[in-house]
Amino acid sequence: MGLAMAGEPVTPQEWSQCLSAVATHQDRAAFARLFEYFAPRVKTFMRRSGADDAAAEELAQETLLMVWRKAAQFDPATAGAGAWIFTIARNLRVDALRRERGVSARAGDIDAEFLIDGAPTPDAVLAGQQADARVRAALKELSAEQKRVIELSFYQERAHGDIAAVLGIPLGTVKSRLRLAMSKLRILLDDLS
């Protein structure tokens, strides 16, 4: 508590350290720091995905609760901390959407659906923190608009429509810009490897 909680952990290294502390000795101060940083951002992610304020808040809490419970599964050698937390939020969002549509899912179902068996990818996948750094470097090369459009690809179609309306451009334009931005990103990521 106290000083340790004073600042938000802002670098991927700090997030990884906090996750390790949670995994190895259920460090609540480290968890509190992750919560302070990520819960409000996961909430924004859920809001932009179409959840109302109360649902977004609950999904953010559930996401961080899963971070606490699954911290031991986090492997800094294969995933960046931000990416790992993103996949937890993503899976909870898929689960929430499915329940909304009346499809019952058992605990762990969605996680299983994203678990792809198969040998690890060859040189394409970098160790977690390295990958984080490379992706951040690639994103810096994109224009603000391209970054915005890439952010859109993480939301459902209906949210695309909403944001197309906000930006005042047709949905088709959002999609073609997204395609361009993703191709550019792919080239950048390949160059950096």
Residues in 83-122 at the binding interface with another protein, rule: CB under 8 A: 83-87, 89-91, 93-94, 98, 101-103, 106-109, 112-122
> Quick one: CA torsion of 35, 41, 46, 47, rounded to 10 degrees?
130
Write out the binding residues for another protein, residues 124-183 only, by CB under 8 A.
Answer: 124-125, 131-132, 134-136, 139, 150-151, 153-157, 178-179, 182-183
Task: State the nearest-atom distance from the C-beta of 168 to another protein, in Å.
Answer: 21
Say if CB 64 and CB 81 are below 8 A apart. Answer: no
Distance of CA 109 to the CA centre of its chain: 19
Query: Could you say which of 100, 186, 187, 191 contacts another protein (CB under 8 A)?
Result: 186
- DSSP state for residue 53 in the 8-state scheme: H
The single residue among 68, 162, 167, 184 that binds another protein, judged by CB under 8 A, is 68
The least CB distance from residue 57 to another protein, in Å, is 6
CB of 189 to another protein, least distance (A): 6
Q: Which residues touch 109 (CB under 8 Å, ≥6 apart)?
A: 95
SS3 call for 142: coil
